[in-house]
């Protein structure tokens, strides 16, 4: 669950966890609604690192999200990135945290 604008209170966070939701934030938010596909793809590929989570908003001006995604996914794959689900990312995070614990 991505909180709108990334805003939540401690009480909201507790309730989300109680209800079984996992709050997920993001690390890359391009200005795709205000720029060309090329500029958006460049911005995304420049700022994406291992573990990045990208947010795109459909229904605003700019290139359609499906077009942006097709372009960016190809470019990131060419750079050696692979795509996993949030659940897979949390499993990796969990294993890594357990390995680092004394």
**Per-residue pLDDT tens over the stretch 22-56:** 888 888 988 877 888 999 999 999 999 998 999 98
Output the pLDDT for position 35.
85
Output the pLDDT for position 53.
92
CA distances from 45 to 30, 32, 70 (A): 10, 13, 13
**Residue pair 65/57 in contact by the 8 Å Cβ criterion:** yes
Long-range contacts, stretch 78-84, CB < 8 angstroms, 24+ apart: 79/45, 81/48, 81/50
Taken in order 4, 48, 51, 57, the sign of the CA dihedral is positive
Output the pLDDT for position 1.
81
Output the pLDDT for position 78.
95
pLDDT (tens digit per residue) in 58-93: 877 778 889 999 999 999 999 999 999 988 988 876
Q: Give this prediction's pTM.
A: 0.74
């Amino acid at each position: 669950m991505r909180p709108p604008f990334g805003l939540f209170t401690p009480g909201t966070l507790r309730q989300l966890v109680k209800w079984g939701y996992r709050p997920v934030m993001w690390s890359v938010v391009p200005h795709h609604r205000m720029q060309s596909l090329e500029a958006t793809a460049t911005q995304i590929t420049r700022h994406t690192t291992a573990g990045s989570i990208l947010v795109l908003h459909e229904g605003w001006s700019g290139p359609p999200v499906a077009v942006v995604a097709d372009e960016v996914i190809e470019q990131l794959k060419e750079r050696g990135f692979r795509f996993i689900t949030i659940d897979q990312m949390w499993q990796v995070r969990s294993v890594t945290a357990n390995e680092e614990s004394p």
